[in-house]
Structures are given as structure tokens and as C-alpha cells.
Structure 1
């Protein structure tokens, strides 16, 4: 990573601390002088701030906890995330970086995008709207609901791309095909929001069933875009973000390739997110020379969602990878137990009718070992799994 970004961070956050008393207090409490930052090591001297800490700070000093390093008159919108946590929307271009996703997908001029994300309280709707327009596309601000009307809109305007949750995309696609026929389906690109469960395998099925390319981004309300898909593995990090993968307890960076909490510092400091712990877990796929991350894996889950098995943290995402890699697999679940003072993990596989059970067991075991770095004690074929079953069940303490 270029030293220029640390120079910019040093200048921006030193100036921000003079305008934002909450930020200044955070720095003083940690004995941290942002003006001295010249490297990732310097930046890492500041303890990670969690979302829970930000929430408490805002409750003690509403609405922004003394962290706003700009005049209130310059705040165009105030978003409200669950908590509630207040996030100021300050001037920016391209939906605070989300336009990079549209450009990577080659969606822009000539495309008509139906944006079904919410346009009130949370930032998703407006950020995707701004980003799509910055990329040159035409946007229909659909918001959520009104399935029949939105299906009619898709057909009559010739929508070519949809921004939606995975579940609502499926609802809309099925409604169009059911009402108007398969030939009326003009959508070629879907920008989907993540969900719990076997999301990646669901995306592969969506691509095959509806003849679309699916894309995703990793963004938060606090930071805007953090990273985005670009046809490579995982997500490429936004050039104006310093991303670290850290131990969620100590805040120290973990070795390359090991999972930990995604910790982000934004170059811009008007809303000063510096060493901010997202609460999400991932691992570095590619790193810069200084150890900061240039490409992150798909999210493994929320910090705390992992189960420690034989000194290795296993994340729900690993079970998604098992489903993707196993021919004929519809779903899977891992169950962790402790027997005779030893951690045991077994995988239950739900297969499609006619699937080769022996080949599925082998593929699932190999995929689990590849992605978790430990062996499964057993792989079992089951007749059913509960709908929306947890990917991992921890029975060690049961």
C-alpha cells in the first residue's frame, strides 16, 4: 500500500480531532497522535473501536457522540441503523464507492436498473441509486414490496439489472415468469445482498435458473463501500480503505490467510472511521507489502459465530463451501460435540434425488478439510434438514 494513504490519514485525522471532541477524546485515551502516522504499524497503535462502543458513545452524547468532523449544515442526510446508530451522509460521489461495483460488472450507460433496496432510514437504497447513476445507468427507485407492480415495471421498461436481497430477487423473477412468460424476462445482471445459509450455492443456482450474472459488494452503513467483487476470488478492497484482519479480542493483526475481524480505516475523516471493527469475519486472500489487505475472502460470519474445534475456529461459511463443492448437495449442517475429552465434528448432507452418496461423502470431506484445515470425524447422508437450519450447531457445552 502506498505511503501516501498514511500521509493522508495523518493529516485528515489530526484535523478531524480538532473539530470532533469525541474523536479527540478517543485519541487522548489511547495516547495516540494521528499526526505521527506514517505506516500501518503506526496506525495499529490505536485500539480497535467496536460498533457497540460507537453505540454507547452516541447514547452518551447524541446524535453523533462528538465524532462528526464537519458542520451539521454540510450533512445532507442522517441514516439510522439498528441500535439505533446515527450515520451522517456527507458529500461524496459514486455512492461512496459503490459505483466501482457497477463498473466491474460493466453495467452503466444503456442499462435500466430496478433498485429495490429501502430508501428510508438506512443508506442502501440511496447509495445504490447514486452509484448506479454515477456509472451512467438509468435507475427506477422501486424500494421494497409491490411485487406485482414491480414485475410489470420490469417487463414494460425492459429492466436489465436488479439491486435486491436474494429472497426478493427470486420473488420478482418468479412473478415475472409466472405472469408474463419466460420471454418477458430481460434481466441479465443481479446485484444481490448476502444472507445467512448457503448463499453462494444459491447464487450459482440463480445464475443457472434465471440466466443472470450475480454480483455482490461488502459495504457497511458506517463506511460505505469496503470491498467489491471484480470476477476474482472474494472482494477487492476499495483503494481509499485500509483493511486489516485482526484478532477480535486483542486487535492485533492475524497472519495472512487466517480468519479474524475485518477492521477498516477510511482515508476521509469527515465521519472519522479509523480502526473500526465491523464485527464481520474474513481472511486475507492478498496482502500489501505492509500487511494491509488488498483482497478479502467472502465473509465467514459475524465475529462470535465461529466454533472452536481442536484449537481451530470453524466458521459457518465453511459449510457453504462444502455445499458448493459437493455434487448433488442441497444443504449441509455441521454438528460439534465433545466426547472423551476430544472435539468431534460431523457433517450432515442433504442430497438431491439420485445423487451419488459415496462421491458426495468424499467431496464433502475433502472440501471441509480444505477450507477448515481439520478433518471431519464423519459425513452422514440425511433424509432431511430443517428449513433454514443453522449451518453450524455447537453441542460441546450441551
Structure 2
């Protein structure tokens, strides 16, 4: 494991070099009064303001294609990815998987596996990152891409696919198609790498594992940074060694106290082409574990996007808190509603439950879980009819500011 001294010595050297090649990065340092050669701690790093994705997009429009952040020669680039905006993300030749292979190793996927990769291979990096990572661990990859459900179901059966990379909904569609068309015995898939969703995603994953006999895995990755953190069988996500992660106030950019929710801010220790330092992902989470320097080493599941939270009695409540309630209490679905009554913020949850549920036990589980994860007391809990809360409804409705 890299020591604190080694980490910041590396940052000093790498970012001093990167700033000389990338004029926009040099301007960031100068504007903040920060010398990259003098960054010796997480506190020094935190003097640099967070770079928001919106700022990067604006700078790329003003100075296309990379906004002055490219720290490599064009001839050194293997690919240019294009994310919505559009935002251009350069990738060095030979940068296979950008850390994603660590996730495959954690899941035990290797040379014995045939991987069907259904992520898009065009413009965005998802398809190629999964493809390269699977090959890096010795697996055989079928580049399925999106769509063609009937054909991909046939491919699963006839080639002996053992692992699927897909969105949660497309994975379920593929599994159902295989089972309906070829029978349960034809379904031999054991591992699924699923794309994250908000709402009741963790509930869906547990149901998928039970229904289809697979283990499900996920990572926290972005086009700008590659893999930031990954599931390893423990709680939340383990931060990969080539990233420094901080949880910061989304307005001030300053680190939040341990355990408080804020924006995930990332610095890459691979700045050779794309020196993203103190880059704001726009995702919210909290630290489960910290390292020697105060940076995050284990990250909670994502709580939502910055801006998805609703402030209730000075505490931000994120959609993830309602998802935790659904899981803990065994609800079919739930929704929190915030109101303002007699100059006091109020929050209640309404939920749909199965007919055989123990209603008293459910109410206790809802109240206790919500207070534990959201750190405030729930004002009311109500069980409603199935048609009173439709599937896919927003997890939080904010009526107090209406």
C-alpha cells in the first residue's frame, strides 16, 4: 500500500509535470494560489476549488476539444470518448479498463468465463471499459452491445455465457427470454455486473439473485475518471488505489466530517493524459472508512445526485435513505413526502406492503431504519393501497418548498 509520503510526493511530481502541459490546469493552480509541487497533504489538496462538470463543459466549448486540460500529445491518445454535453474524454493508448479489472477479480471472474457485454461500444466508454477489463483477467468476451434481445438470448445459450455485463432492466429481460424460450436448465449464468440505478435498485438486485441464481456486482465509475471504487464483498465500495476520494460540501467544496453525506470529489493519481484533480462527480455519498491522510478508502452506496436531496430540519435526506427503508422493512415500494406545518419541517413515508405482512413489525422497522440512516425522526408512516403509489414513483416528494 502506498504511504502518505509516497502519495503526495507522486502528486507533486505528476501534477507539476501535467500543469506544464495543460494550460487550463496551470490556471486552476494559479487562481487558487496553489503550487502543485507543494501539495503535501489532503489539507493542501483541499485548497484547490472543486472542478464541476458544468465548468469543464463550458471550458471545452471555449477551447475545443479538451478545454486546455490535455496533458499528453495527440499521438499518445488511444481513444476519445464522448459523453452527453458533449464532453470529450481522452484516453491513453494501453490504458486497458481504467481499473475495472479489479472488479472482475473481486467477483472471481477469470479465464474460465465467457462474458456477454451488453454495454454500448459507441462514443461512451462503458462497453470498451468492461471489454478490456474482462480480457485483462483472461475471460472471453462477446461484444453484444445494446438491443437484439432474442439474438443475445440465443448467444447466451449456445456459447455457454457465464457472466453478463448489463443494465439491471436489460439483464432481467435477457434472463426471462432465455428461460421462456429455452427452459430453466439452459440458464447457466452465474455472475452479473449491473449498472447502478436509483429507486429500489438494491431490492431489485436481491430479487435478481434469488430469481436467477446469480451473484450481482457493481462499481462506481465515470467517463472522466474510469473506475473510482468497486464492490468487494464488504459494505459499500472500496476505493481503488489510483484515486483519492473526498466527501465535500457541494457548495463550498470543503471536506465534510466523517460520516456526513456530500459530493464525491475525486483526484486521479494517473494524470498523464487527463489530469482530473479535485473533480466533482455530482454524486452524493458518505465515507464508511478513512485512510491515513483523511481521504475516503471505503464509500457508501450512492445516495443520489447532488441536488436530489431534500433538507428537513437542517438534515439532508437522500433518496437512498428511502431505499434502505424499503429493504429493511420488506416493503414493496415507498415514498417520502416533506411538508411545512406550523413553521416546522415534517416528513412522512407512505408504503405499499404485501398482504401477509406483519404491519406492526413493519412500522417499527420503518421508523428505526429511517432514523438510523437519515439521522432524523420520521413524523408519520402510512400504509396505502397498491394503486395509491405506482411503481417507479419518485422516492422523495418535496412539498414544503412548493
The residue number in structure 2 matching 1:313 is 316
Q: In 2, Cα distance between the equivalents of 1:92 and 1:312?
A: 45
The residue number in structure 1 matching 2:52 is 50
C-alpha displacement at 1:375, in angstroms? 1.0
Q: How does 1:343-354 map to 2 (within 5 A)?
A: 343-354=345-356
Q: In 2, Cα distance between the equivalents of 1:6 and 1:97?
A: 20
The residue number in structure 1 matching 2:167 is 165
Q: In 2, Cα distance between the equivalents of 1:47 and 1:318?
A: 29
Paired residues of 1:165 and 1:192 also in contact (CA < 8 A): yes
C-alpha displacement at 1:94, in angstroms? 4.2
Q: In 2, Cα distance between the equivalents of 1:260 and 1:397?
A: 21
Paired residues of 2:4 and 2:293 also in contact (CA < 8 A): no
Deviations 1:163-197, CA, capped at 9 Å, x for gaps: 00001001000000010010000000000001121
Q: How many residues align?
A: 397
The reply on whether 1:300 has 2:303 as its aligned counterpart is: yes
Paired residues of 1:265 and 1:276 also in contact (CA < 8 A): yes
Paired residues of 1:94 and 1:135 also in contact (CA < 8 A): no
> Once superposed, what is the RMSD of the aligned Cα atoms?
0.9
The residue number in structure 2 matching 1:358 is 360
C-alpha displacement at 1:292, in angstroms? 0.4
Q: In 2, Cα distance between the equivalents of 1:121 and 1:128?
A: 14
The reply on whether 1:388 has 2:395 as its aligned counterpart is: no
Q: In 1, Cα distance between the equivalents of 2:12 and 2:321?
A: 38
The residue number in structure 1 matching 2:237 is 235
Paired residues of 2:120 and 2:145 also in contact (CA < 8 A): yes
Counterpart pick for 2:329 among 321, 326, 329: 326
The residue number in structure 2 matching 1:367 is 369
**Gaps (5+ residues) in structure 2?**
none
Counterpart pick for 2:11 among 5, 9, 12: 9
In structure 2, the CA distance between the partners of 1:100 and 1:94, relative to structure 1 (3 Å rule), is farther
* Structure 2 counterpart SS, 1:294: strand
C-alpha displacement at 1:387, in angstroms? 2.3
The residue number in structure 1 matching 2:276 is 273
C-alpha displacement at 1:3, in angstroms? 2.1
C-alpha displacement at 1:93, in angstroms? 4.3
The residue number in structure 2 matching 1:252 is 254
Q: In 1, Cα distance between the equivalents of 2:262 and 2:401?
A: 23
* Structure 1 counterpart SS, 2:332: strand
Paired residues of 1:9 and 1:268 also in contact (CA < 8 A): no
TM-score (norm 1): 0.98
Paired residues of 2:50 and 2:253 also in contact (CA < 8 A): yes
**Gaps (5+ residues) in structure 1?**
none
Q: In 2, Cα distance between the equivalents of 1:234 and 1:196?
A: 15
Give the ranges of 4+ consecutive aligned residues of structure 1 lying more than 6 Å apart after TM superposition: none
Paired residues of 1:117 and 1:144 also in contact (CA < 8 A): yes
Counterpart pick for 1:104 among 83, 96, 106: 106
C-alpha displacement at 1:358, in angstroms? 1.8
The reply on whether 1:338 has 2:340 as its aligned counterpart is: yes
Paired residues of 2:333 and 2:391 also in contact (CA < 8 A): no
* Structure 1 counterpart SS, 2:97: coil
Q: How does 1:54-203 map to 2 (within 5 A)?
A: 54-203=56-205
Paired residues of 2:113 and 2:161 also in contact (CA < 8 A): yes
Q: In 1, Cα distance between the equivalents of 2:332 and 2:391?
A: 11
In structure 2, the CA distance between the partners of 1:76 and 1:93, relative to structure 1 (3 Å rule), is closer
Deviations 1:193-219, CA, capped at 9 Å, x for gaps: 011211011100000010000000000
